[in-house]
Structure 1
Amino acid sequence: MKFDRMDVWMRAVELSVEAYKYSTKIRDYGFRDQLTRSALSIPSNIAEGVERESIKESINFLSYAKASAGEFYTQVFIGKKAGFLDIDVAERWLQESKEITAILAAIMKKRRQFT
């Protein structure tokens, strides 16, 4: 399986791109940095996980991607409450990060069957 053909990777890339484009509106540089770092980490770790040779290593990096999606969700939630993010954008990102997390959990569960 090629990571760049995976729907979850493509969705994570789009989420990251949206976060980077939107981040120019965010004046709190610490928040902006954390938000974009976690967003970038999701597709990056998916790619690294798929490219790993062993199933155990693959699951580890997919787990990192899942954790980054949780981190991104938390930052969006806080950003929404703090007024850093538009509510409609935040709601869309919250939903997308939850769906990415669920897909990654399913992929990891399937891969664990082969260990």
Structure 2
Amino acid sequence: MSKSFEDLEVWKKACRQALVIYKTLKETKDYGLKNQMERSAVSVPSNIAEGQERDTKPDFIRFLRIAKGSNGELRTQLYLATKLEIISTEQSNELINENKQISKMLQGLINSVELQNG
């Protein structure tokens, strides 16, 4: 495992995703969806960090899976926010593409950690 979660590219990318979600939804008046999207976005890097800090391979994998689930939840909310015209189709496409990259990175990290000895 990495020395620190801060070294993980997927954690960095997930933090950037959360910041973009907050900035994108700053003026949104749909507080229910806004709150849920912000919570999902923050959950992704938070769970990566928590899993890494627990310092056991099974815990790290479990929290990476939780992060991946939160990432999927956020992607669903992005689709809904687009249909509700809270965010533009252009913004949504960019955010969804980034989100899908994060999901692939999380799966790759899960696979890598599962293959490690010890």
TM-score range, shorter chain: over 0.9
Letter in 2 for 1:99: Q
When the two structures are superposed, what TM-score results if normalisation uses the length of structure 1?
0.95
Match of 1:38 in 2: 40
Counterparts of 1:1-115 in structure 2, within 5 Å, are 1=2, 2-114=4-116
TM, length-normalised to structure 2: 0.92
Q: CA deviation at 1:66?
A: 0.5
Distance in structure 2 (CA, Å) of the matches to 1:25 and 1:35? 14
* 1:83 counterpart SS class: coil
Which stretches of structure 1, 4 residues or longer, exceed 2 Å deviation after superposition? none
Q: Which amino acid in 2 is paired with 1:106?
A: G
Alpha-carbon distance between aligned partners in 2 of 1:5 and 1:55, rounded to the nearest angstrom: 17
Number of equivalences: 115
Amino acid at match of 1:20: Y
Distance of 1:27 and 1:112 partners within structure 2: 43
Q: CA RMSD in A?
A: 1.1
